[in-house]
Structure 1
Amino acid sequence: MTLSAKPYLRDISMRDDDDIDLDRYPFNIPAVRDLNRLSFHPDVTFFVGENGAVKSTMLEAIAVAMGLPAEGGSRNVSRQQQEVSPLQSVLRLSKGFKAPRWSYFLRAESAFDVISYIDETWKDSFPRRPPPVSLHKSSHGEAFMQLLLDLGPDGFYLLDEPEAALSPNRQLAALSAIDQLVKRGSQFIIATHSPILLAYPNAKIMVFDQAGLSEVAYEDTEHYAVTRDFLNHYQRRIEQLLGDDEDDE
């Protein structure tokens, strides 16, 4: 029997530290303040919640603690990091027995800068190899998909709101790409608002809210419920949201 290398990251916890100021961001946010032990699925774990619920902050902290740059990219992206939250310095990581072959932090808000850095440094890093076609020659969504398709097997990948650059059809394509990588030994942790991505089978979905952290089934997520309700009753919902012009006359 072959022992699976996954999960590369088993769980995280926050170390006991009297110096942690629980009134300071992000430690004053319930999902962080009440963090005991967060275990990850060997395949895909999703972070969901409202804006400001520290999903991206948690993802960034995990990335930096795993040796990846806060701005995104692989370990080979050695540019100056942006300022990071103090959360990464107090995380305790429990890793698997084997390190991943590849690691990458895909961050929507800084992907453009990371792509520029890769373009600028390729010649110095690989003087005898022809440069790749610049991803800047593609649309934002195409470049994002190409990055996803270029990820290698046996990898550990953190994706921060990948749907920001992707059309619904591209999100479906991203689901397929993620599944192919999962089947080739990769593990994903993804912060998202996309009900399409959240539908990935057997994934672990963790909700960040005022109650702290909790696991939820796909059909019990607000993302699924709101989207389903809107699509089934969109005319009525639009009327409720925008009001009836005749009533204003």
Structure 2
Amino acid sequence: MTERGGPFDDRPVRRVRTRRDAAYDASAWPASIPAVGQLLRDGLDLPAGVTFLVGENGAGKSTIVEAVAEAYGLPPEGGSNQGHHATRRTESPLADWLLLERAPWAAKWGFFLRAETMHGYYTYFESVATGDDPALHTMSHGESFNALLATRLNHPQFTAGLVCLDEPEAALSFSSTLSWLANLAEMVQRGTQVLCATHSPVLSALPGAHILELGEWGIRETAWAELEVVRNERSFLDAPGRWFRHLL
């Protein structure tokens, strides 16, 4: 992979920016979220490899990942660009305001894993599955995510392209999260570009990942050890009693 603008830059998404004809109210949701407002004003470069969006609930992580996935042509309720399904639309209009700068020769495949709507995707997947595909509805939440990782996200037939992940750790045990770290590293080696919203200090520890912390300041690049979630979980695990004195 080369830097943005180079003659061999093959990132599926080089940059996210606002469409010239985008009509939105900067004082209304979702543009009023500081991170989304900064994205609309300044755009966002996406490097090769994995980019993590980390921050508190309501900081705009999922809103941005969801919008980038939809702007890329992925179904907003999850799945690949090879098939679409929909139940009830609840997504923000942000995707309609965004334009993705893409290398014309880059891989076009993509997948969006969205934790809270995957049950609907599993039903759709079941309707088009072949005999070799896993029966996702028969598995636990975590098992089904691991099966998707093995058969879609980190499978030689499908890798390369863009993978958008919205808090995948919601379904994962500690050991499964470690397995996802190893698989993400393999996906990057195959040329997959990943944009992931997460609260997980384990997942975001992936070596070489690009980490963006979202909050009242907007979006800022940071190091893993400087993340608020890393500092807080380390403090809690070191001495839970200090936290309980304030909580209980």
- Same-fold call, TM > 0.5? yes
Report the equivalent of 1:14: 18
* SS of residue in 2 equivalent to 1:9: coil
Residue in 1 that maps onto 2:180: 174
Equivalence map 1:45-60=2 (5 Å): 45-60=51-66
Aligned twin of 2:97: 90
Q: Does 1:30 align with 2:34?
A: yes
Residue correspondences, number: 236
Read off the aligned partner of 1:212 and give its amino acid letter. Answer: G
SS of equivalent to 1:235: helix
Asked whether the 8 Å contact 1:159–1:190 carries over to 2, the reply is yes
Is contact 1:6-1:187 (8 Å) kept? no
Of residues 63, 68, 72 in structure 2, which corresponds to 1:62? 68
Q: Spell out, residue by residue over 1:89-131, the C-alpha distance to the aligned partner (whole angstroms, 9 max, x if none).
A: 1112111242325310001001111011110233xxxxxx536
Question: Is 1:186–2:201 an aligned residue pair?
Answer: no
Residue 238 of structure 1, CA deviation: 2.6
Could you list the runs of 5+ residues in structure 1 that have no partner in the other structure?
A: 123-128, 243-249
C-alpha displacement of 1:18? 7.3
**What residue identity is the alignment partner of 2:96?**
S
- What root-mean-square deviation, in Å, do the aligned CA atoms of Structure 1 and Structure 2 show? 2.1
Matched to 2:185, the amino acid is: D
Q: Distance in 2 between matches of 1:221 and 1:78?
A: 36
Give, in whole Å, the separation in 1 of the partners of 2:9 and 2:189.
Answer: 12
What residue number does 1:73 align with?
Answer: 79
TM-score, normalising length: structure 1: 0.88
Give the distance between the partners of 1:14 and 1:213, measured in 2 at CA: 16
Percent identity over the alignment is: 40
SS of 1:34's partner is helix
Contact 2:11 2:106 in 1 (8 A): no
For 1:13 and 1:155, the matched residues in 2 are separated by: 19
